[in-house]
Amino acid sequence: MTLPPAARRCLGFLLLACLATGPGCAHKPGPPARPTPTAETGTPPALPNLQEPVVWIVGPVRWPVLDWRRGLTLARAILEAEYLPANDPRQILIHRGTVTIPVDPSRLLTGEDWALLPGDRVEIVP
């Protein structure tokens, strides 16, 4: 049985790679890792503040996470998140902790609006 030239080249490269690496690891283990200064002092490393007030928009939007600010409303959040579909959403839900607030999109289009709170999750169903 003869192998096509491409398969022979592939096997040749595989054999060459096996011979080049040799049996096992070629370097000697270094000294054990030293503890970081923060581990020695007991102070945690500086992390970014993950408690910034935000509002999440779940659905077809360009910007799913918005910074919350006083006076942010549902209509403004949908505009800032840049709702992508050309047609109006079928359903909008505001999830606030364990409470879900259904919003009829037609009421939103007539000018009725809802204030959003930090941590709210707005779900838009196209």
Q: For the chain, list the domains and their CATH numbers.
A: 54-125 (3.10.560.10)
79 by DSSP, 3-state: which?
helix
Q: How far apart are CA 29 and CA 31, in angstroms?
A: 7
Looking at the DSSP bridge assignments, the partners of residue 99 are 96
pLDDT tens-digit map of 59-118: 999 999 999 999 999 999 999 999 999 999 999 999 999 999 999 999 998 999 999 999
Radius of gyration, alpha carbons of the chain? 29
Q: How far apart are CA 122 and CA 55, in angstroms?
A: 8
**Would the CA dihedral through 115, 67, 56, 51 be positive or negative?**
negative
Has this prediction a pTM greater than 0.75? no
